[in-house]
Amino acid sequence: MSGPAPHTPRGPRGSRDPEYAVVIPTLGRPSLGACLRALAAAVDAGGPPPRRIVLVDDRPPYDSTPLAVDIPDRFQALVRSIPGCAGGPAAARNTGWEAAPEPWIVFLDDDVLPGPRWATDLAADLAAAGPATAGIQARITVPLPQDRPPTDWERNTAGLATSQWITADMAYRRSALEALGGFDERFPRAFREDADLALRALDAGWNLAIGSRRTTHPVRPAGRWVSVRTQAGNADDVLMNRLHGRGWWARAGAPRGRLPRHLAVTAAGAGALALTAARRPRAAAVSAALWLAGTAEFAAARILPGPRTRDEITTMALTSAVIPPVAAWHWTRGLLRHRRERPREPGPPPPNGTGHADRKRMDGPVR
């Protein structure tokens, strides 16, 4: 493991800056280099450097090629790459923070860009944290095109700017991670594992805060069927229901989505096929009309706010027909897989019992 930074910077009053490590799970995407360069620029601008940077290489075990990334010169002695288990971001983050002894762990995604004042503002965020503050979230910006309306995928990504406790840039106190058992590795995707940890922290009496540092989350390139692949998250929502009850949506500030409509549209389509097989043409026609109306409404809701290019309209028309049955499939799969899961007992409270389980946000100044 890499040693500490060559020097320990001190704040304007001579106090020691908070010590932190940066943990970045990665699949080796080219964006990792840009993330490290932005982080180095923020440190060069005057902020305290991390004590270490842990890159968790979460590629499959059969991919034995070295992690290809250009590490900035100032981070050469700080960066350590360790193998993950290809178990998803929750498992990778656990691997990362367990390898870093610093009192604060800052989790970054490998496709974000810390802002120019990131290191300075992070130090202020951590210094201002009380003993019962488990985590401090950055303020996320998602740049959208200025010359046209955003696509469906761009609008989905833009939702990160208003999401709570996302680990695109989230600092957690190491003692809180230890007390809470880290991320729940039953969440295999970059979806809901962050909300689960945050709700467990709040249930145990810890505080969560919104800091002043800013990070940009660009919209990454995605293929035509990306919105279909993301429907796998419906299985994770089932697990959240089992662990936190149906009220977790409001507590986590998460939108409910269209699952009930997807189930209804899927039932109408399946009914049309079954009734056709049963030689009941009139009833089959009614079910088919309901399916068509539901699919058309879904497509229109996605097309109208967008750029309405030929490619976008084609993508929305195709995926709007496919998403409802795929969402229903993953929801059903989640019901079967997680049918025996039960809520866990709350973790130990913060020091001196000073937390407030109902306090979700402590907004700092906007910079």
- In tens, the pLDDT along 267-320 reads 999 999 999 999 999 999 999 999 999 999 999 999 999 999 999 999 999 999
- In tens, the pLDDT along 138-180 reads 999 999 999 999 999 999 999 999 999 999 999 999 999 999 9
Characterize the bridge pairing of strands 79-83 and 104-108.
unpaired
With a cut of 90, say whether residue 8 has pLDDT above it. no
Instruction: Note whether residue 141 is domain-resident.
Output: yes
Q: Can you tell me whether residue 337 is helix, strand or coil?
A: helix
- Weakest-pLDDT range from 114-123, 316-325, 352-361: 352-361
Percentage of residues in the chain with pLDDT exceeding 90? 81
* 44 sits in which H/E element: helix 31-44
CATH of the domain at 141: 3.90.550.10
Instruction: Note whether residue 289 is domain-resident.
Output: no
How many separate domains does the chain show?
A: 1
Instruction: Note whether residue 205 is domain-resident.
Output: yes
| Full residue range of the structural domain in which residue 38 is found | 20-223+344-353
Q: Can you tell me whether residue 114 is helix, strand or coil?
A: strand
Mean pLDDT along residues 30-59: 95
- In tens, the pLDDT along 76-97 reads 999 999 999 889 999 999 999 9
Instruction: Note whether residue 144 is domain-resident.
Output: yes
Instruction: Note whether residue 266 is domain-resident.
Output: no
- Distance, in Å, from the CA atom of 289 to the CA atom of 19, rounded to the nearest integer, reads 62
- Listed in order, strand segments (DSSP E) in 4-129 are 20-26, 52-57, 79-83, 104-108, 113-114
Instruction: Note whether residue 86 is domain-resident.
Output: yes
- What value does the mean pLDDT of the chain take? 90
Instruction: Note whether residue 177 is domain-resident.
Output: yes
